[in-house]
Structure 1
Amino acid sequence: MERLTRWVLAHRLPVVLVWVAFALAGGALAAGTVDRLSYETRLPDRPGQAANDALAQRFAQTGGRNSPLLLTVTLPEGKTVTDPRVRDQWRTLVGTVTPSGGRSVSFDDPGGAALLSADGRTTVALVYPRADASNAPYQRSLPRIGATVAQARIGGAPVELTGQPVLSGRNSGAEPSPIYETLLGAAGALLVLVLVFASGLAVVPLLMAAVAIPTTFLLVRGITTATDVSFIVQFLVALIGLGVAIDYALLVVTRWREERAKLGAGPEARRNAVIAALGSAGRAVVLSGATVAISLAALVALPVPFLRSVGYAGLLIPLVSVAVAVTLLPVLLYTWGDRLDRPRRRHRPDSPMWTRIAGFTTRRPALSAVLSGVVLLALAAPVLGLRLGQPATATLAQGGAPAQSFARIVEAGFGEGVARPVEVLVPAAAAETLAGRLGGLDGVAGAVAPGDWVAEGNRVIDVWTTADPSSSAGRDTVTEVLQTARQTPGALAGGTPAFDVDFIDAVYGSLGLILLLVAVATFVVLAWTLRSIVLPLKALLLNALSTCAAYGVVVVIWQWGHGSGLLFDTPAVGAITIWIPMAVFAFLFGLSMDYEVFILHRVRETHLELTARGVEDTLVPSVVTGISRTGRLVTSAALILFLAFTALASVPVTDVRMFATALAAGIIIDATVVRGVLTPALITLLGRSNWWFPSRRRVPVPVGERV
């Protein structure tokens, strides 16, 4: 690291010009990069994907991965939908709202009896418009359909439009953009940095983020030429990139300030301060970036292109941030650091508050470990009730007219699954028989096979469950439907419930192996760097515990709904979106390991210094000094990331909000309870075993080494 820093300082102008060129190019091409992002999620080689592809090809992009619109009417007492005049009105309306190239089914179609309530007063029609490959698949057709329905009357009763595409708000036509959220996160970060530095140095980490983010976008643009990249990546690069780049720069600038206070004035002192800061904090930043990259490799290893693209972009975020922190930042500190550090005040590297906390945890390590452990286990306990799936339809947009309409549909006995039916593509000759078998399964509320849903010798059967497909009962029924359908030669079963089943299998089918590989790779890097076997094992266990605590918070807020209304004006969604736990693990595992690395490096550095001075009992002084000098840094860095995730949670996409909630909760829990209390307590309890390393004698560590 010292050699790199000296080279960078000797070539300051080329280094600056290269980074400026990258940032300007990335910024200029950012809009085009965003346009290249994909809104489609595919699962290659999965039966549900094969079915949905076949449906899209043969039925002009209707159905499959897109749920139907639900057209419904409830007549007053004494009237029935089967009245000839009402029947004609309903048939005409359904035909009118069904777009050209779309398909629909109502009770008036052969086999459509399941779409009529027992009392004959309520009916539902399933309408599949042609879909676009975007975040708003029905954007073009929905306004016209909505306007037609709003003016319609059937038997004197108003007609209502509902369904998951309406309830989820995905078809508003507003394309999400990270600009507002990034500015919000940057404003919060600047406030924290002003409080930390109380000088012009507060702008330095933001400048590093301003270079790292567009540079990462430039690299993402390159990835889009080779594979599809999810639209979620723009938010991750902008907001997680903001937090990570600032955190790394914050660590280096803080250490530079400390070294600068020791070395005095003069050009050589300025140079040596930069070299010393990068020799210590710079190594910690590189190791932190490596651990984040390793954890994100879990997403790259998954057979899901959507998550792979998130993993690719996620890998770029820490790598670019590290590169900026160890090349551009030293130049800025050497050239402008002293001028920006004004008004210059006496800097105290030790935090009085964290010194007191470290003193208590080292005096009462067992009590501190037990209390913090109980808190973490209590936060993690709800993860035992974690349910994976799409949000239950009944929880979407509660309180609005579409939600009330859907509630009436459920009350009339149509089943919650009518909003997300399984779509079975089957040879036409076997359609009637298979529809009868599927309709007779326990938990199935209805099955229809319209005669005009025919293409290339195949018909489509729509099957829906009584319970929501995301619920335990609904998922069991969906599984039975899929198994029964796929027993028919030539049959393919798709729709969103089938896609969910395949997604869970693809993401979590090899979860154990992926987690093991990430843990082993992280352990090897930490063990070799820290020259310890025990400390990396402890870090892995604590990371797993803090990640589970973050999962527990998400379950409480989003699945159970305790706080989702207050925080997001959203009721409980009943299930956690399938990809979120895996993505949270990949990001949170690496990001929280940053703080462990920062603390352990400083503890080990102090241990080496005390050992070099001949101090025999270095344990408690090393821990206290390490915590007192990193506690303020870690909490400030965590607060900046927390604000970035809070800004991310303002994105009007439920999945992104869940993801941001998990990251925000996890990073705060980790930086306070885990790293501030449990880590020093366990290091104290482990004593000399902290530094056990098998080949320690054969691979000596220089006494004066700084890390």
Structure 2
Amino acid sequence: MSNAGPLGRLARLTYRNRGRTVLLWLAALMLAAGLSAAFGGEFSADYSAPGSDSKAAQDLLQEKFPAQAGEVVDVVVRVDGGVTTARGDVQALLDELKVVPHVAGVDDPFSVPGGISPDGGTLVAHLRLDVTNPNDMPHADTERLLDIAKGADRPGLDVALGGQTVNLAEQGEIGSEGIGLLAAAVILLLTFGSVVAAGLPILTAVAGLAVSSTLTGLVLRFVDAPDWSTSLATMMGIGIGIDYVLLMVTRFREWRAAGLEPEAATVATLDTAGRAVMVAGSTVVVSMLGLFAMGLSFMRGAAVVTIIGVFVVMAASATLFPALLGYLGRHVDRLRLPLGRRRPVEVAVGGHVEPGRGWLAWSRLVQRHRVVAALAGVAILLALAAPFLGVRYGYPDAGNDRAETSTRQAYDMQAAAFGAGANGPLVLAAELARPGDASALDGLRAAVAATPGVALVTAPRLNPAGDTAVLTVLPATGPQDAQTEDLVHRLRDETIPSAVDDSAATVRVGGVTATAIDSNENVARRIPLLIGGVVLLSMLLLLASFRSVAVAVKAAAMNLLSVAAAYGVVALVLQGGWAGQLIGIDTETPLPSFVPVLMFAVLFGLSMDYEVFLVSRMREAWTRTRDNGRAITEGLAGTGRVITAAAAIMIAVFAAFVPSSNLVLKMIGIGMAAAILVDATVVRMLLVPAVMHLLGRANWWMPAWLGRLLPELHVEGQPERHLPVPPEPAPEAELAGAGSR
């Protein structure tokens, strides 16, 4: 017992002080809730690209023309007999809307140029809010705007509201934690056949989730994070929390079958499987830290919220789980379900657990056909990744919303009446050389209007100080059209510089569409930093963990392949065909560039989890037998059931977010569910063992000089330390044995 490592000693401490440990977790939960209630912040997300032209335009307007810097809600009205026939109704509607809190002003569509469509049947009025971030608009106030619009809607007079604030309100609550937990409970029951064994991962994960979710409010006081970051952290917290404890419950039952008492089995579990859990959690943290390389505040916020959730889950696995075993360890197989005969755990001579016959047969099959298995695995992954070659980057807009939403109806009405570009106006923010000197604006407006791809340019509006002006440009094409992106670059690179060359005016191109274009380009430039940093750090961690160059390089290459396969699945559903319709995507939808970045950070970490689970058991067998083929076969057979169950839980958790109306969560959910399915089947159960069989003893090679530089983590633990000592034979037995000889 004295030979246990730090995790084993911590397990013994919490096991013996289980009551205090549980009380400390309850106290942590109450403290986190109290601090969040007293000092918690609000969700906020800035999707603009730092240093971009659109960001400069937004900053200029916020500083010198705040009336034009706030969020805008479009009020779209279509009247069968022409909008002038319902002028009184429209005015009454606008009067009612402008008294709602946070509405700073309302444009008069009957006097503003471009407010009424050429055919006279549709008008657009702009409600200007006093918030510059759509997340800052209370949903209750946006709901009030929607209720007023619905009240004015009648046969022959259609009213719809558009804008990001309306879109957020119509999405409603995001997250399906309950569905994920229910699915996880069913899978655990099928895996263990015991209510107690299945309940331990659920209890630990829920406790960690409760503490980390209450801490989120406090985190928001110091970092800006989007509202969907809590759902991402919840996905990760539930998934890895249950997976980690699933691994340890499985190992605990093995130690009990080997003859250890509950306390000794708990210590041995944390000293072996617990090490793998800590390394796996560290790879997830390393992957999420890669998001800091993107230089985007909303990604940093999402990473911080998720990392805190991972840390809390790791802490619960190392402390709360051993404490719960103090109460339930002796009864881990109690309350069994009538699920048929289950093979008892078999312990071989030496203390290692004999793998199940089915998994052993599969492992030997892969060993015999390793070349075919390796080629088949790579072919499947490349086939799944192929649709990503045709992916279209961009930001989904209201045209991708559900048909029954107000934002989608407003989008369609504007596009039909004013042209596709009406849904993606560009904003020109001009800072004049001298207050009141607007001489350059007429030439600027004429030059922009003559630019190919421009449908309309409004007259400039000056701020009260007369030193800043705003012009609105309607492109001839929609916000997702590649020609609109070309127009933005043409205005910045050619039209505007030549138009203001003789004046000292500074003109920036901004607006939602320009911001989306700049953000996509900014993320694309930084993706190599993310991939390179995360892969390098993860490889160093695996080198220290498994003392093998081949394991680290192979893990990085195969994880990249599984991530590419997930990207391909996402690209396929975004095409809006049969695959997209299965998850509620009816039209072709662009992929925001930050979604692959988030997916990469999350999936690379989770893929490393399964790599650690699998290879740690292989290395354990290797250090015991020095037989590469046997180590791979035993490692695969010994972890196949655990990895399959863990993957099924993660798939269920992520798939629970696919029905979400939030497109970002929907994309992440389907991509990550597909990736985990591919990773746990094609990669871990087929490709990894096949390649390791091909590499032979080279799997465990590392240069001596590198071994001296890196710390030795012993991620596989030293199971032999915890094996029960066989009793000394009685003297009579010895004599009898001697006589027989």
Deviations 1:241-271 (A, max 9, x none): 011111111111111111110125xxxx333
Tell me the residue number matched to 2:675: 666
Is 2:227 aligned against 1:242?
no
Q: Taking structure 1 as reference, are residues 314 and 446 closer, same or farther at Cα in structure 2, changes over 3 Å only?
A: same
Per the alignment, do residues 37 and 68 of structure 1 end up closer, same or farther by CA in structure 2, a change over 3 Å counting?
closer
CA distance in structure 1 between the partners assigned to 2:177 and 2:422 by the alignment? 39
Matched with 1:463 is 473
For 2:733, the equivalent position in structure 1 comes to: none
Q: 1:585 is matched with which residue?
A: 600
How far apart, in 2, do the equivalents of 1:482 and 1:645 lie? 41
Rounded to whole Å, the distance in 2 between the matches of 1:401 and 1:19 is: 45
1:2-33 CA-partner distances (Å, limit 9, x unpaired): 23322441354244333232134335666778
- Shift in CA distance, 8/470, structure 1 to aligned 2, threshold 3 Å: same
Quick one: which of 19, 22, 44 aligns to 1:16? 22
Does structure 2 conserve the Cα–Cα contact (< 8 Å) formed by 1:105 and 1:450? no
SS at match of 2:601: helix
- Quote the offset at 1:330 in angstroms: 2.2
Provide the C-alpha distance between the structure 2 equivalents of 1:287 and 1:580, rounded to a whole number of angstroms. 26
Q: Is the contact between residue 415 and residue 423 of structure 2 (CA under 8 Å) also seen in structure 1?
A: no
What CA distance in whole angstroms lies between the structure 2 residues aligned with 1:409 and 1:147?
20
Structure 1 counterpart of 2:723: none
Relative distance call for 1:126 and 1:432 in structure 2 (3 A) is: farther
Report the alpha carbon displacement of residue 158 of structure 1 after superposing the two structures with TM: 2.8
1:657 maps to 2:666: yes
Given the alignment, which residue of 200, 203, 223 partners 2:199?
Answer: 203
Map of 2:718 onto structure 1:
706
Separation in structure 2 between the aligned mates of residue 661 and residue 28 of structure 1, nearest angstrom? 35
Structure 1 counterpart of 2:570, from 539, 554, 558: 554
How far is 1:283 from its partner?
A: 1.2
The alignment's C-alpha RMSD in Å is 3.4
Question: Closer, same or farther in 2 for the Cα pair 1:475/1:70, shift >3 Å?
Answer: farther
Equivalent position SS for 1:263: coil
Identity of aligned residues (%): 28
1:185 matched to 2:188: no
In structure 2, the CA distance between the partners of 1:230 and 1:91, relative to structure 1 (3 Å rule), is closer
- Do structure 1's residue 287 and structure 2's residue 286 form an aligned pair? no
Q: Is the 8 A contact 2:104 2:128 kept in 1?
A: yes
User: Residues of 2 paired with 1:668 and 1:128: CA distance?
Assistant: 46
Aligned-pair distance for 1:319? 2.2
Asked whether the 8 Å contact 1:649–1:656 carries over to 2, the reply is yes
**Partner Cα distance (1:17, 1:157) in 2:** 64
Compared CA separation, residues 198 and 144, structure 1 to 2 (3 A): closer
Local SS of the residue matching 2:168: coil
In the other structure, the counterpart of 1:449 is 459
1:485, CA displacement in angstroms?
A: 6.9
Please state whether the residue corresponding to 2:545 is helix, strand or coil.
Answer: helix
The aligned counterpart of 2:734 is none
Q: Give distance in 1, aligned partners of 2:715 and 2:323.
A: 29
AA in 1 matched with 2:157: P
1:499-528 per-residue CA deviation (whole Å, 9 max, x = no partner) reads 112322332322212321211111111012
Counterpart secondary structure, 1:510: helix
How far apart, CA to CA, are the structure 2 residues paired with 1:23 and 1:141?
33
Choose which of 544, 547, 552 in structure 2 pairs with 1:531.
547
Q: TM-score, normalised by structure 2?
A: 0.83
Letter in 2 for 1:101: A
8 Å CA contact 1:420–1:496 kept in 2: the answer is: yes
AA aligned opposite 2:675: G
Equivalence map 1:207-606=2 (5 Å): 207-264=203-260, 269-343=261-335, 346-347=344-345, 350-398=355-403, 403=408, 406-407=411-412, 409-412=414-417, 414-426=418-430, 427=432, 428-449=438-459, 451=461, 456-483=466-493, 487=497, 488=500, 489-568=505-584, 570-606=585-621
Count of paired positions: 678
SS class of match (2:258): helix
Cα separation, 2, equivalents of 1:705 and 1:141: 56
Shift of the 471–621 alpha-carbon distance from structure 1 to 2, 3 Å rule, reads farther
**Matches of 2:225 and 2:526, distance apart in 1:** 23
Q: CA deviation at 1:379?
A: 0.8
2:715 and 2:398 map into 1 onto residues whose CA distance is 62
Larger radius of gyration: 2
SS of the aligned residue for 1:37 comes to coil
Aligned partners of 2:625 and 2:695: how far apart in 1?
19
CA shift at 1:332, angstroms? 2.4
Deviation at 1:462, TM superposition (A): 1.2
Distance 1:342 1:34 in 2: 42
Change (3 A) 1:3 1:632: same
Rate the CA distance shift 1:292–1:95 in 2: closer, same or farther, 3 A: closer
- Structure 1 residues not aligned, in runs of 5+: 612-617
Q: Residue 698 of structure 2: SS of its match in structure 1? A: helix
Going from structure 1 to structure 2, the CA distance change for 1:386 and 1:374 (only over 3 Å counts) comes to same
Structure 1-normalised TM-score?
0.87
CA contact (8 A) 1:478 1:497 kept: no
Instruction: Report deviation, 1:571.
Output: 1.4
Aligned to 2:107: 104
Give the corresponding residue for 2:127.
128
Q: Which residue of 2 aligns with 1:158?
A: 157
What is the DSSP-based 3-state SS (H/G/I as helix, E as strand, rest coil) of the residue aligned with 1:170?
helix
* 8 Å contact kept, 1:444–1:463: yes
Equivalent residues of 1:421, 1:465 under 8 A apart: yes
Contact (CA 8 Å) 1:62, 1:130: kept in 2 or not?
no
How far apart are residue 39 of structure 1 and its match?
5.0
- Report the CA distance shift for 1:160/1:188 in structure 2 as closer, same or farther (over 3 A): same
Change (3 A) 1:688 1:275: same
- Cα gap change, 1:313/1:352 in structure 2, threshold over 3 Å: closer, same or farther? farther
Q: In the aligned structure 2, how far is the partner of 1:705 from the partner of 1:125?
A: 68
Bigger drift between 426-435 and 322-331 goes to 426-435
Q: Per-residue displacement from partner, 1:405-460 (whole Å, max 9, x unpaired)?
A: 64454345x33221121111224443332222222222222221255777643222
Aligned counterparts of 2:455 and 2:92: Cα–Cα separation in 1: 25
Matches of 2:573 and 2:89, distance apart in 1? 42
- Asked whether the 8 Å contact 1:97–1:148 carries over to 2, the reply is no
**Which among 686, 689, 692 is matched to residue 683 of structure 1?**
692
Unaligned runs of 5+ residues in structure 2 are 337-341, 347-352, 433-437, 720-741
Letter in 2 for 1:253: V
Deviations 1:446-498 (A, max 9, x none): 22125577764322211122222223222222332344576343223211112
The 2-side partners of 1:90 and 1:62 are apart by: 26
Structure 1 position 643 matched with structure 2 position 652: yes
Partner Cα separation in structure 1 for residue 234 and residue 368 of structure 2: 42
Which one of 26, 45, 49 corresponds to residue 55 of structure 2? 49
> Does the 8 A contact of 1:98 with 1:129 survive in 2?
no
Residues 28-37 or 629-638, more deviating: 28-37
Distance 1:7 1:634, change over 3 A: closer
Report the more deviating stretch, 601-610 or 505-514.
Answer: 505-514
| Aligned partner letter, 2:477 | A
Q: CA deviation at 1:134?
A: 4.5
Alignment partners' CA distance in 1, 2:390 and 2:573? 13
Q: Deviation at 1:619?
A: 2.4
One-letter amino acid matched to 1:20: L
